Homo-oligomer: A and B are copies of this chain.
Amino acid sequence: MCSERAPDDLTARARIRDAAIRLFADRGIAGASVRDIAQAAGVSSGLLRHHFGSKEALRDYCDVYAKDRTDQFREEVFAGGKMTDPGFLVSHSPEMRLLQRYLVQSIKDGSPAASAMFDKMVDLGEEWTIKTGVATRDPRAYGAAICAMQLGLFLFADQLSRVLDVDLGSTEGYVRLNHALIDVAATTMLSPEQAGYLHEAMDRVLDTSPKE
């Protein structure tokens, strides 16, 4: 799709994997059947089983493929000397955007491999929070929250496309949303006074509702 790829990677096995990633990303893991995937890859469903054994095993394979491919792409970008926020850069490639959508679905449904990736994301988010000195008493929860929010965004792509009246899969929609996200990251939605008030309110919640 993007960088060089082994020629024999256009085999049926690779086509199945690509079709699976696309359908999983579009419909969620449970929403894509093995027959749909096989048909999208232009093969029989038996061949899918022949190559991967089961739907779950196919998903595992897609997990490691998506992770490896993403890491590889990230390294290429870094090696290319483009030293801006990697989190933003990675998603500029259509292939990376697809893999990202897939990984979000996979993380949401919670496979071991995907959960491990989420853990790593949160670890990085926590490190970043501490390193940059964000004003929070709970860097881990802070990092986890921004990770989950970032990922959650992808799950509402359809709704966002409708509300913004632009296809978020297109470059135009993608750029428009990212401009907004930059603004979200660069602005503040609560004043320190408001934040303090809300923190106190939350503590009161903890005190007044010990039951449940």
A residues with CB within 8 A of B: 30-31, 84-85, 88, 92, 94, 107-108, 110, 115, 118-119, 122, 134-138, 140-142, 144-146, 148-156, 158-160, 162-164, 170-172, 174-192, 194-195, 197-199, 201-203, 205-206, 209-210, 212
Residue in B30, B107, B148 whose CB lies within 8 Å of A31: B30
Roughly how many angstroms separate A138 CA and B186 CA in the complex, as a whole number?
14
Enumerate chain B residues within 8 angstroms of A197, measured Cβ to Cβ. Answer: 84
Residue in B88, B136, B189 whose CB lies within 8 Å of A146: B189
Quickly give the copy total for this chain: 2
Enumerate chain B residues within 8 angstroms of A182, measured Cβ to Cβ. Answer: 190, 195, 198-199, 202
Given A134-B189, A152-B155, CB of A175 within 8 Å of CB of B145: no
Enumerate chain B residues within 8 angstroms of A194, measured Cβ to Cβ. Answer: 85, 186
In the complex, the answer to whether A108 meets B151 with C-beta atoms within 8 Å is: no
Enumerate chain B residues within 8 angstroms of A172, measured Cβ to Cβ. Answer: 206
In the complex, the answer to whether B156 meets A152 with C-beta atoms within 8 Å is: yes
Enumerate chain B residues within 8 angstroms of A119, measured Cβ to Cβ. Answer: 163
Residue in B92, B118, B176 whose CB lies within 8 Å of A163: B118
Roughly how many angstroms separate A148 CA and B184 CA in the complex, as a whole number?
12
Enumerate chain B residues within 8 angstroms of A137, measured Cβ to Cβ. Answer: 179, 183
Roughly how many angstroms separate A136 CA and B187 CA in the complex, as a whole number?
9
24 contacts between A and B (CB under 8 A): A30-B31, A85-B194, A94-B212, A107-B159, A108-B155, A122-B163, A134-B183, A138-B179, A140-B164, A141-B179, A141-B180, A144-B164, A146-B184, A149-B149, A152-B155, A171-B209, A174-B205, A175-B203, A178-B202, A185-B190, A185-B195, A186-B191, A187-B188, A188-B188
